[in-house]
Amino acid sequence: MSIETIKKFIEDEAERFGAKTDVEFNKPYIERNNTGPEALKDNGAYFGFIHPDEEVSGPFHDFSLTIFPNNQGKAWLICLGIGSSGFKNDYELSTYPGLRRLFSGLVDERGFCKSDFSDIETSLPRTITDNSGLQHIKNTIKTYSKVLPVCQIVDDPESITGKKIISAFVAGYAELREWPSNKDHRKAISDALLPFLKNQQKDDEKEILNLLKERKFVIIQGAPGTGKTRLVKIVADKLKAKIFFTQFHAETSYSDFIYGIRPNTKAGTLSYSEEYGVFTNAIKYAISSKKPTVLIVDEINRANLSNVLGPIFYLFEHKQDISNVQIDITPDIKVDKIPENLYVIATMNTADRSLAVVDFALRRRFAWYTLVPQPISSKQFFLDDFNKIHKIFNWYAKSNELTLEPGQGYFIASSDKEMENRIKYEIYPLIREYFQEGLLSNAREEFNNYFMSRIGFPLFE
């Protein structure tokens, strides 16, 4: 394998992704090359790009694109590295979750990605340093072990697969250094990264339907606008089931959902009558009809679930055999298990910050499926606004903050004016509220710039 051939390939890819290599000042990178005969004897051979503010030789700072080669026809290691001198310009960049998300998608089971890119004290795991396929560069890797947040083994750099991996790493570095300056650069980067994206659009409808058939009790969670309620109704229709629907709120009680006694004053005298809740009606129908029955519980986490479910909580075991424990649903209805033909689908809004965390007992009894914001094919869908908001969240939001991203439903409008109003009166207030709660602090200036350029409103007065 020719080191010079791969070096040329990387340089060409960098230029394709927007690196202006012909400029005299503001160069996109400094090229490093330590691939002499002695270095290639497992004595620290490497080549790649470093920060353009660094020197052409000696210790350096900040993120680098680093390749550990060999000339024996054996595997190489391609990495996002950090100079042995640590950080000078890139420390803040290293803390952005989006950088980790970007590069974590480029590695497989034979690679490694740190959970914290600012960490330059923790060494690579032994699965990398002691890998049998890398014994020929073992000492070299150990020398730089603490400053390699991402690395991937490349068996044959000149193969189609090898070049795809290398190209994706160069594309990731191009994003990191903000090389692209036109749509051709951005498309080239997207094309290089696309085969490695692990969050390819899923067929949510199909997956939820299969999950429901397997587990029976499913909770669909996601931010507002991701189409949770709409989707569960579609899934229920696919089962050709009888649908029972309820929406929980803070005052929902056991008597609303299961069974209660309510006063009746219509006859002029006070009397009491039984009231079956939606759960009881669903069970009665399922038992009597033997047909598929679906109970939809919208906003399940808005109620005090312990109070609402009471003793029927015990029944939510998707593989529970008939037991000798019977639960009184009503004075005349006792069950030892939920009927096989009764399915329960619930929805939960992950952006509702006022809600308590769902307890572990409930989590164990339900399967959980997360809906994420994703573009849709519609002339009324404003893709550009969706992409800008999505990019900010993806780059700056911590893992727990990703669940706050407005779903695709926010970006559907029949005209430019309507979309502008949706941003002004729906998305803008929502993002402001997040900031007031101390969330998304890293993204303050990005959101401020977006709203100023889009609707002329600053986030902060």
Q: Return the pLDDT at 460.
A: 81
* Same domain for 235 and 147: no
Q: Give the tens place of pLDDT for each residue, 413-442.
A: 999 999 999 999 999 999 999 999 899 999
Q: Give the tens place of pLDDT for each residue, 120-143.
A: 999 999 888 888 789 999 999 999
| pTM of the predicted protein model | 0.83
> What is the rounded average pLDDT of the residues 53-79?
94
Q: Among residues 161, 196, 231, which one ends one of the domains?
A: 196
241: containing domain: 204-371
Assess contact for 6 and 158: CB atoms under 8 A: yes
pLDDT score of 70 more than 60: yes
Q: Return the pLDDT at 278.
A: 94
> What is the rounded average pLDDT of the residues 67-76?
92
pLDDT score of 407 more than 70: yes
pLDDT score of 57 more than 60: yes
Q: Return the pLDDT at 461.
A: 72
Q: What is the CATH number of the domain that holds 329?
A: 3.40.50.300
* Same domain for 66 and 8: yes
389, part of any domain: yes
377, part of any domain: no
**Residue 199 — very low, low, confident or very high, per pLDDT cuts 50/70/90?**
low
Q: Among residues 313, 346, 371, which one ends one of the domains?
A: 371
* Same domain for 417 and 313: no
460, part of any domain: no
> What is the rounded average pLDDT of the residues 346-375?
79
Q: What total of structural domains would you count in the chain?
A: 3
> What is the rounded average pLDDT of the residues 228-243?
93
* Same domain for 414 and 316: no
* Same domain for 123 and 25: yes
Question: What is the distance between the alpha carbons of residues 369 and 118, in angstroms, rounded to a whole number?
Answer: 32
pLDDT score of 355 more than 60: no
* Same domain for 181 and 111: yes
pLDDT score of 273 more than 80: no
Tell me which of 445 and 365 has the higher pLDDT. 445
Q: Among residues 371, 400, 425, which one ends one of the domains?
A: 371
Burial class (CB in 10 A: 0-12, 13-18, 19+), 87: middle
pLDDT score of 359 more than 80: no
Assess contact for 77 and 423: CB atoms under 8 A: no
Lowest mean pLDDT among 63-67, 230-234, 321-325: 321-325
The pLDDT mean for the chain works out to 90
